[in-house]
Chains A and B, each alone.
Chain A
């Protein structure tokens, strides 16, 4: 009996308290499980999410060199794309963020900077 207790004491694993790796991001407490927004108008995308998704869409365009894409790249001047390629990229961004951009507005989106700004300021960007 004492032997058993001695053995158990010997192999007991010490309890370590792990500090929670919680990086509070600005404005976004949702994180999926922390806060539930009951309306579709409460949560908005953070700027870094928008930037990340816009850049990933532009980088996965087949005619674009992924290493040349930064947050302020002009599609036709810096990346050497066509105006029709510009239209295709804007359509891809519309599909990514589930937006409906009016034709004249979409015509003006010429660079990643403009795209990020437009999408970030759009109330219905998903």
Chain B
């Protein structure tokens, strides 16, 4: 019993385990970020957004203490699937970002091009 516990403790801190946990944590954070933005897209009004955001947070917090790596992976995959299902078709994107309304609207002119404003002045010198 104690040997198994010791082996489990040894496995708990190997580099591979930690790397996998760190990758999972990053996936969770990015998933939470996207889900939060999506919640804002669906619930435009702030009071609705606050309620939906706290519901989302509670759903994430309920699974906070899961230890088994495979369960965590499965849960993250399920979360990403449900995020993909609920993505907003017309999300709010900041205007100057790709997909926004101001993106590449007025690109800076390429180097070396110069507009000479001579207003039709004739050069009869």
Interface residues of A (CB under 8 A from B): 83-84, 86-88, 90-91, 98-100, 103-104, 106-107, 124
Contacts and interface: CB of A to CB of B under 8 A. Distances in A.
- State the 5 A-B residue pairs at the shortest beta-carbon distance, nearest first: A100-B97, A100-B94, A87-B33, A103-B30, A87-B32
Nearest to B97: A100
Contacts of A100: 93-94, 96-97, 100
Contact of A91 (B25, B36, B57, B100): B36
Contacts of B104: none
Contacts, number: 37
Interface string B51-63: 0010001001100
B33 A91 contact: yes
Interface of B: 25-26, 28-30, 32-34, 36-37, 53, 57, 60-61, 93-94, 96-97, 100
Q: Is the interface of A mostly helix, strand, loop or mixed?
A: helix
B30 A107 contact: yes
8 contacts: A83-B28, A83-B29, A84-B61, A87-B29, A91-B33, A98-B94, A104-B30, A107-B29
